[in-house]
Amino acid sequence: MDRSAFASLVSPYRRRPWMTEHGAAAADSGQVGLKGIVAGGITGGIEICITYPTEYVKTQLQLDEKGAAKKYNGIFDCVKKTVGERGFLGLYRGLSVLVYGSIPKSAARFGAFEFLKSNAVDSRGQLSNSGKLLCGLGAGVCEAIVAVTPMETIKVKFINDQRSGNPKFRGFAHGVGQIIKSEGISGIYKGLTPTILKQGSNQAIRFFVLESLKDLYKGDDHTKPVPKLVVGVFGAIAGAASVFGNTPLDVVKTRMQGLEASKYKNTAHCAVEILKNEGPAAFYKGTVPRLGRVCLDVAITFMIYDSFMDLFNKVWV
């Protein structure tokens, strides 16, 4: 038996070349996903420090109910009263919660998207329209489970606590400890279902719009670079689309994660109660501050993320 024949017998990869190809693809997918995780984590930490005050105001307005309990008369009134009572840094109440959560959230989102995208592109490296939606959906579901639900629940409870006449949380560690002590681990996973729905639809819309606009800009030249400012504009458009698409889910999620969440049996009951007691307009509470925050957030996020990915692709081989 000659050497080549012997080699074909002892090396199964010679007889099944697709296994080698798939192995290479898997390795590439893993590396791309890892780059996405690192770049996404850095991006998340920078972005939240820039945009947090708008998130704070949005949450306060969404927690504000009608009647005697109503505390604020709009965005500027909320900012004025918060600064008057607690100073400018009052607008950053609860920031530590989001800093701790934004890094793993963004890392999970972009890592999942890059991994899914690398396995869904065609021979030209392009995603179909359905592929853009599904990869974005997968990224949103992943971040909802890994980071967003516990982070958002803790954040809302901290802000809600501040609204009470006698706040009981004395800091991040103390607050989280009190929540777990009184409600158990499940206490930081309130609103998981609406959060998955919100984040899944959020990222499906955002990545679909962003990737579609990038493809439109590139035209027939798929290697054409997209300037970072243009990426920022595309990100703002994608962010606006997601706000109008899923603010009702965001309102329900916020109510389900507040300190008074126990009065709702489940997500559907919460939605019905809001509709019955406050009307359809209540589902769009906080839209304006959320629109400003999200457009800025998504624009900054994609600009920073693209910059780090460009850098990693040059130095991380």
Q: In a structure prediction context, what are the per-residue pLDDT tens digits for the chain, which is 317 residues long?
A: 555 544 444 444 444 343 344 444 444 777 888 999 999 999 998 988 888 888 788 888 878 877 677 888 888 999 999 999 889 888 888 787 778 778 999 999 999 999 999 999 988 888 999 999 999 999 999 999 988 888 878 877 887 787 777 788 877 788 888 888 888 888 888 778 878 988 999 999 999 999 999 999 999 898 899 999 999 999 999 999 999 888 888 788 788 877 777 888 888 899 999 999 989 888 888 788 778 778 988 999 999 999 999 999 888 87
Residues sharing a CB contact under 8 Å with residue 8, sequence separation 6 or more, in sequence order? 14, 15
Evaluated on CA atoms 309, 94, 201, 300, the torsion sign reads negative
Q: Does residue 248 belong to any structural domain of this protein?
A: yes
Give the structural domain span for 220: 190-285
Place of tokens 């009981």: 168
151 contacts 206 by C-beta, under 8 angstroms: no
Helix and strand tally (H, E) in the chain? 12, 0
Q: Does residue 109 belong to any structural domain of this protein?
A: no
Domain count along the chain: 1
Place of tokens 């974005």: 136
pLDDT at residue 2, rounded to an integer: 53
pLDDT at residue 130, rounded to an integer: 95
Q: From CA 60, how far away is CA 111, in angstroms rounded?
A: 31
pLDDT at residue 92, rounded to an integer: 87
267 contacts 252 by C-beta, under 8 angstroms: yes
Strand, helix or coil at 198? helix
Q: Does residue 268 belong to any structural domain of this protein?
A: yes
Q: Does residue 13 belong to any structural domain of this protein?
A: no
Q: Does residue 275 belong to any structural domain of this protein?
A: yes
Q: Does residue 278 belong to any structural domain of this protein?
A: yes
Helix axes 149-163, 192-218, angle to 10 degrees: 120
pLDDT at residue 43, rounded to an integer: 94
99 contacts 89 by C-beta, under 8 angstroms: no
pLDDT at residue 148, rounded to an integer: 86
Q: Does residue 296 belong to any structural domain of this protein?
A: no
Q: From CA 10, how far away is CA 12, in angstroms rounded?
A: 6
Q: Does residue 24 belong to any structural domain of this protein?
A: no
Q: From CA 67, how far away is CA 1, in angstroms rounded?
A: 91
Question: How many residues does the structure list for the chain?
Answer: 317
Cα distances (angstroms) measured from residue 209 to each of 83, 198, 204, 264: 36, 16, 9, 34
